[in-house]
Amino acid sequence: MPKIVDHEKRKIKIAEATWKVIVDEGLEQATVRKIAKVADMSVGSLRHYFSTQSELFAFSMKLVSDRVRNRAENKYYDGPPLESMQELLSEFLPIDEERRIEMEVWMVFSSKTLVDPNLKALSQEVYDEMHRASKMVVEGLIESGLASQALNKSLEIERLYALIDGMALHGILHPDRFSVEKMQTTLKYHLKALCN
Amino acid sequence: MPKIVDHEKRKIKIAEATWKVIVDEGLEQATVRKIAKVADMSVGSLRHYFSTQSELFAFSMKLVSDRVRNRAENKYYDGPPLESMQELLSEFLPIDEERRIEMEVWMVFSSKTLVDPNLKALSQEVYDEMHRASKMVVEGLIESGLASQALNKSLEIERLYALIDGMALHGILHPDRFSVEKMQTTLKYHLKALCN
Amino acid sequence: MPKIVDHEKRKIKIAEATWKVIVDEGLEQATVRKIAKVADMSVGSLRHYFSTQSELFAFSMKLVSDRVRNRAENKYYDGPPLESMQELLSEFLPIDEERRIEMEVWMVFSSKTLVDPNLKALSQEVYDEMHRASKMVVEGLIESGLASQALNKSLEIERLYALIDGMALHGILHPDRFSVEKMQTTLKYHLKALCN
Amino acid sequence: MPKIVDHEKRKIKIAEATWKVIVDEGLEQATVRKIAKVADMSVGSLRHYFSTQSELFAFSMKLVSDRVRNRAENKYYDGPPLESMQELLSEFLPIDEERRIEMEVWMVFSSKTLVDPNLKALSQEVYDEMHRASKMVVEGLIESGLASQALNKSLEIERLYALIDGMALHGILHPDRFSVEKMQTTLKYHLKALCN
DNA sequence: GATGAATGAGTTTTCATTCAT
DNA sequence: AATGAATGAAAACTCATTCAT
């Protein structure tokens, strides 16, 4: 009987170490050596789980989207509609340390997406998912009677989604200029604006 | 002092080569050797202009903001206010090849900003500039009487700026999903929404 | 003691997997991992049969000589002398897929012989065996009266043996230039030449 | 003005270092590090001349054929025909230290030829050249009236060429069994046999 | 016996930077 | 000013071998 390890858990541990190195030192410093060290294992061992760095990065990026999606899906939305929507959309913003790390890692990988075909597919998938979430919110507002039926639904979806990602970007790159509070207030403001 | 001009021209040529490599192959592939090759000069010669790679990157990033700013400032805005604002704000969106390249390079460097203190200052400066531009637009709309005085100016500024950068992000990362046309329509839609 | 037979069978299976990897990808690619995979077993398991790679290689090389020797010895030579000799000597030429693989593997290991003392002994043994076979042929021809007694026996042996190995070499390295047919015809021609 | 070095000479120096390592320790030990050390330069410097190991090996192999060809072509053959031919053909045998090294290196690379497409072309070229040399000898013997016109020219060419390479092989792999003297005597014997 | 996880030394390769010319 | 040779550190990756289960 071989040594028993939970393969998936190990991979997640490594991916989280990867996040840490990326956040602390940047993607270029996310070398196999450093990641192994942070994950507290040997380079050779790490290679059991990810045979190439590319694989490791793909998994690490995917873990971000999995985490965010899971949180968004498993949350219990029971308040008033506007508040529920605010809560849902906040899942995609760097409103606390946990989310900030994920968003930052996501952004760094997104950047890499431009020239790494390996990561492109996931980026597209998530774009589509986010787009659907944005659609759900806009349609939810209209159907619940909060928002006017006269809204241009399609454009509102694009606007909302771009707003979310723009705020996430500002929140990550300029936390001192664009605080979490501003983020939340601006989001609430936008949702309310849709309801006039 | 023609020498200085030449010197500066050379540096710009090198920075543009850097952009090219970044867009084509990514920041990690932007090695001194490759950049020198694309700029059609020797490695040693390139070093006369930039003694370290870090300097070169800082200059290359700054060139993006200079270019964008110059274009925005030197443009002659003579149409109706809403159209002028649309035109101004479009300068910050990847609406054509030239701008797409600049935005993409900017995004890649922004990513690096998170861990490279050398680039952080410029990033902040540009954030502030953009914020001011956003403010100008919002205030312009109010002062011209197009937009209601009841708007929350401060939040509208954040909203507009985030929308712009979010759209730029989507336009760069997902040009097939978020076309230039959608970008322009969404922007126009937003500006109009402010005027209701 | 059926266990021992199984043990031996397993070793042969592993050696054949080694051959396959060598022929397909070369000696340098004949890693323990790859061989284990081709042999359809785990790395750890393979180690029960060969505790070091060196052992494995020595066994794999020896298997070639065993196979060739067995075939040569167990063959029933009942035709005319010249034909029998042609048949015998053909056992040492890559005249079909099976033999081609063996010769190729042999050649690869022979190359390694130059610097690997572990393999040298076997190489010498086989040289001597082959030399004896060559001697048998030459003496056979003379004794049977087919060849003249005036032949320089010793030189004829060297000549025949070198011819065989030279043809094997050409057959392996340049099958498109030196076909199996040419090989056979040349051999027959040589044997006949001895009989003039 | 850049530092002036004779690029080609440097490459040859490196290739010779490669030969040395191969002869002393085998192809698998012919690592870039070891070669650089023997060539008395840094690894990075070596990479100026050969950007990949594959390139280095291809050049090193080619250098063998160049050396042998040059020697064969520039030699002044002025004795009796049979002696001239003996001398020419001896160029392809490991009759002294210099030639032994070249032949050994050639053999090692030939082995690699089987799975390295990069080296295959050269191997074929040399095969053809050697074949032509063999043809020249056979035809020379016939034309000079030394050998009978009744010879099967085509088969004699194959036979001679295989004999040469077989003897080279034996001379390299088993110098204690197949001495230089035997080599020469066997060759002379063969040439004479053609003349009966 | 069997498994595969773990290790660390070793490999090729890349690269920013320095330096002699 | 310009060139490209030289360097050494560090990268990704490979691998035989060891070991716990």
Question: CA-to-CA distance for B180 and B161, rounded, in angstroms?
Answer: 18
| Residue A82: pLDDT over 60 | yes
Alpha carbon distances (Å) from B90 to B62, B72, B166, C72, C96: 20, 9, 13, 85, 73
The answer to whether residue B179 neighbours chain A at the CB level (below 8 Å) is no
**Closest residue by Cα to residue B61 from B20, B119, B6, B128:** B119
Answer yes or no: do D108 and C114 touch at CB < 8 A: yes
Q: How many CB pairs under 8 A join A and B?
A: 119
Would you say the C-alpha torsion A94, A96, A99, A104 has a positive or negative sign? positive
What's the rounded Cα separation, in Å, for the pair C85 and C136? Answer: 9
Contact between chain C and chain B (3 or more Cβ pairs less than 8 Å apart) = no
Interface of C with D in 97-116 (CB under 8 A): 104, 107-108, 110-116
* Cα–Cα distance list, D121 to A86, A167, B188, D92 (Å): 68, 60, 64, 19
More confident residue, A117 or B99: B99
Cβ-Cβ contacts under 8 Å, C57 against chain D: none
User: How far apart are the CA of C135 and the nearest CA of chain D, in angstroms?
Assistant: 14
- By C-alpha distance, which of C139, A162, A18 is closest to B168? A162
- Give the nucleotide at minimum CA-to-C1' distance from D28: E11
DSSP-derived 3-state class of residue A82: helix
Mind telling me how many Å the CA of C127 is from chain D's nearest CA? 8
Using a CB-CB cut-off of 8 Å, the residues of chain A touching B124 are 174, 177
Contact (CB, 8 A) for A109 and A101: no
Cα(B99)–Cα(B92) distance, integer angstroms: 8
Alpha-carbon gap, residue C55 to A130, rounded angstroms: 58
Minimum CA–C1' distance nucleotide for B48: F1
pLDDT above 70: residue B5: no
CATH of domain D57-193: 1.10.357.10
**Interchain contact B175–A (C-beta under 8 A):** no
Q: Which residue is nearest to nucleotide F15 (CA to C1')?
A: C31
Q: How far apart are CA A187 and CA A183, in angstroms?
A: 6
Model pTM? 0.90
Q: How is residue C132 annotated by DSSP?
A: H
Q: What is the pLDDT of residues B71-117, one digit of tens each?
A: 999 988 888 989 999 999 999 999 999 999 999 999 999 999 999 98
What's the CATH architecture for A1-51?
Orthogonal Bundle (1.10)
Domain with CATH 1.10.10.60 in chain B: 1-51
In order along its 196 residues, chain D shows pLDDT tens digits of 445 567 889 999 999 999 999 999 999 999 999 999 999 999 999 999 998 999 999 999 999 999 999 999 998 888 899 999 999 999 999 999 999 999 999 999 999 999 998 899 999 999 999 999 999 999 999 999 999 888 999 999 999 999 999 999 999 999 999 999 999 999 999 999 999 7
Give residue-wise pLDDT tens across range C155-170. 999 999 999 999 999 9
Q: Is the CB of D10 under 7 A from strand F?
A: yes
d(CA B163, CA B190): 9
- Grade residue A3 by pLDDT with cuts at 50, 70 and 90: low
Residue nearest E11, CA–C1′ metric: D31
Whole-number Å distance between alpha carbons of B95 and B103? 10
In this predicted structure, what is the pLDDT of residue C1? 39
How big is chain D, counted in residues? 196
C111 CB neighbours in chain D (<8 A) are 27, 107-108, 111
Cβ of residue C150 closer than 8 Å to a chain D Cβ: no
Domain with CATH 1.10.357.10 in chain B: 57-193
Give the Cβ contact number of residue B35 at 10 Å: 26
